[in-house]
Chain A
Amino acid sequence: MSTDSEIRALTRFRLSPRAGYIALAAVGLVGVAVLYTFDPRNSGTYPICPFLGLTGYHCPGCGTLRALHQLLHGNVLAALGYNPLTILSLPFIAYSLADGAMKAFQVKALPRIFIPHQYIWGLFVGVVAFWVLRNVPVDPLTVLAP
């Protein structure tokens, strides 16, 4: 177990948060343009998932790019089919990133939502269960595979 000082030393490297959010926005815009244009199902534009490549099993993130491509084209159900975890997380991700960016630029804070820890433990259990179950090749569970 790391001591407090070791953890501090490891996390001392920090990007300026403003630069970080600007970089993230740039990456996000390019990502949206590329994902909208190229369908991950049939173009050689995107890298292979390392976990899938090494083990042959899907990870909780597999299907994310295909899901986002479908979502950008308005196909919500198809997007959920490729990766429900990603799609259902998007509102939380959008809210948190907007709040973080607004704080970094000293605009204002959005109302803080304190998530009870039980819900985060629920997310942990859900992610692990999703990871396992989407790799089970038995009929009702195969819908979870991307």
Chain B
Amino acid sequence: MYCPTCGSNNDDGAKFCRACGGSLTPETQDGPPPHVPNHLVWAILVTIFCCLPFGIVSIVYAAQVNGFVAEGRLDSARQASENAKMWAWIAFAVGLVSLGGFGVFSLGNGINLL
């Protein structure tokens, strides 16, 4: 069974996508609007822990996801969802590299400012 949100392959009978957490139960006409993940928790985590502005970009895309979902524009919501995820990963990677670099650079000076 393929996830309608991100296209990942999942076990048959799975209720949620292993990759994006989206619902795998078929969408019905009267049911609630389909879930498009906004990845907001990752946006906040990288904003707090990675020290660089890219996490804030991810927050902007998360806001767009929920705005598009509320308007019923699901294709735009999925696009914004991919962007939110991408910028969270970018923030994570840049944060990891710069923290590592600064960790080595400031080793032994005994200052902790994070």
Question: Could you tell me which A residues sit within 8 Å of B by CB distance?
Answer: 2, 4, 7-8, 10-11, 14, 16-18, 40-41, 43-53, 59-65, 83, 85-86, 89, 92-93, 96-97, 99-100, 103-104, 106, 109, 112, 114-117, 120-121, 123-124, 127-128, 146
B100 contact set on A, CB distance < 8 A: 47
> Contact string, B72-91, partner A, CB cutoff 8 A, digits 1/0?
00000001001101100100
- Greatest chain A CB density within 10 A among B16, B48, B65, B67 is at B48
Is B41 an interface residue when CB atoms closer than 8 A count as contact?
A: yes
**Are B51 and A51 in contact, with the CB atoms below 8 A?**
yes
Q: How would you classify the secondary structure of chain A's contact residues: helix, strand, loop or mixed?
A: helix
A53 to chain B, nearest CB (A): 5
Interface of B is mostly: helix
Q: With A106-B16, A112-B35 in contact, do A48 and B106 touch (Cβ < 8 Å)?
A: yes
Given contacts A7-B86, A61-B49, A124-B56, contact A48 B102 (CB under 8 A): yes
B residues whose Cβ falls under 8 Å from a Cβ of A: 8, 14-16, 18-19, 21, 35, 38, 40-41, 44-45, 47-52, 56, 59-60, 62-67, 69-70, 79, 82-83, 85-86, 89, 95, 98-103, 105-106, 108-114
A-B pairs, 6 with minimum CB distance: A96-B41, A47-B103, A117-B67, A120-B63, A50-B98, A117-B66
Q: What are 30 A-B pairs with beta-carbon distances under 8 A?
A: A7-B82, A40-B112, A47-B103, A47-B114, A48-B106, A48-B114, A49-B114, A52-B114, A53-B106, A61-B48, A62-B113, A64-B48, A64-B49, A65-B114, A89-B44, A92-B40, A92-B41, A96-B40, A99-B21, A103-B15, A106-B15, A117-B63, A117-B65, A117-B66, A117-B67, A117-B70, A120-B63, A124-B60, A127-B47, A127-B59
